[in-house]
Structure 1
């Protein structure tokens, strides 16, 4: 078994311990494991695919440079990675806010070539994600953020609350308001 295969079988926490010991191969495995999820989150926040890719890349560069600061007792690895990418995406959004409403939406890039059995499911899921991204643009940033973390980041309300350091009720309220606005767009 190669080092890469062995590393791909260990937990995120164990990977992070190896990364903190300057193990670049462990970092590559962590990137492979979490980058697709981080990119979906960044795309939901930035909307523009190029900016989302840049934010994701900046986030992972920051993770490598700041690997010594990770503390396992404060956050699990995926939440820590997503929070860093989220901050980079929000920074990009703030820097380019005036351009966000004027950019055309691009189709999602498919991360993996689907098997023939999954083609229809992949196309439907991709179309749904793109449609949601289009609707998210019109939401206030606070509502867009919690919905993006839940839908694209696959985080629970509690995880979002911890990540954003907001009360759980605030997260649920923003989610409820955002979902109501999305429903209004869908029924209009």
Structure 2
């Protein structure tokens, strides 16, 4: 009996570090219009690093814009593993054609559902240069769409329809933020659009 108890204690002691070392499960990303992560996962854009296998994992600190990922790392959620998402690629990311006032639907796909505070969508300011990294100073920090969720879990997919802001021309970037209610993190997705 004593050997069995010692074996169980040793097994439990060894299992604990392994259980805590396993990264959190997958989460969610914007599939329509395709986000940078979605383009990388589909192979439409290459040289994406780990994001090609983990488009759902762009997670970083929440409370953007007062805190959250550092400027220049917003598209990767501050996660250096996904730094390729922050590379403006000289403005060459594929971009969805849009017009001011157009209704555009954003669809998220989830592989792990979380209690959710809200979804928010921000856009770059007029005059944004698509060859520069995304920072707070080149974003309109008032979301053009906020969808409250009040702690509910979203279904496996969720869509939000927004009116595209006016006053922009050329290549712009949408920063979509999924704020999680029961953790200190949020999920970040960058989408490129052309007016």
Query: What is the TM-score of this pair, normalised by structure 2?
Result: 0.29
State the structure with more CA Rg.
Answer: 2
**Higher strand fraction: Structure 1 or Structure 2?**
2
Query: What is the TM-score of this pair, normalised by structure 1?
Result: 0.29
**Higher helix fraction: Structure 1 or Structure 2?**
1
- More contact order relative to length (CA 8 Å, sep ≥ 6): 2
